[in-house]
Amino acid sequence: MRPLVTFMLADQEYALDVLDVQEVVRMVAMTPLPEAPPEILGAINVRGTPTLVLDMRRRFGLPVQEPGPDSPLVLVKVQGTCLALLVDRVVGVVHADLAPDAAGFVRIADRLVVMLSPAALPSQAVLALLGGPDRKETNEFEPRSV
């Protein structure tokens, strides 16, 4: 049996391998990042570490829903960095009997759930913020155009 963390976005249920999830926390004070991609809402402080917040609704092209104080954030590791995934609701930890099929669905009881890989969630623009392989080296003292 494979343990999975499941969560909702709109009317669809998604899953992440429990080993990919560090923890689930509630929304906390967020610092906006003005030049970030639209799916990045800002950054939060997770035990002294700045962590980007990825709005999963925007990432998947769903209608935007503003986060509230009880909005759940699923913390995952991507490129060796923590990333907070804003989701509508965390369903819980469940056990799947089988691996995902070729289309990426896993059967949980009588439901088909979309299985996600944290590495596939950030866009190229977000990977650049995380320091991914496509990040361009810049001189931090170089003036930037505004």
Residues 92-129 pLDDT 10s: 999 988 889 999 999 998 899 999 999 999 989 898 88
36/39 Cα distance (integer angstroms)? 8
Domains, the chain, ordered by start: 2-130 (2.40.50.180)
* pLDDT score, position 138: 36
63/68 Cα distance (integer angstroms)? 16
> Cβ distance 65 to 132 under 8 Å?
no
Strands ordered across the beta sheet of 105-108: 89-96, 2-9, 12-17, 111-115, 105-108
Find, among 84, 96, 113, the residue nearest to 11 by Cα: 113
The pTM for the full model equals: 0.86
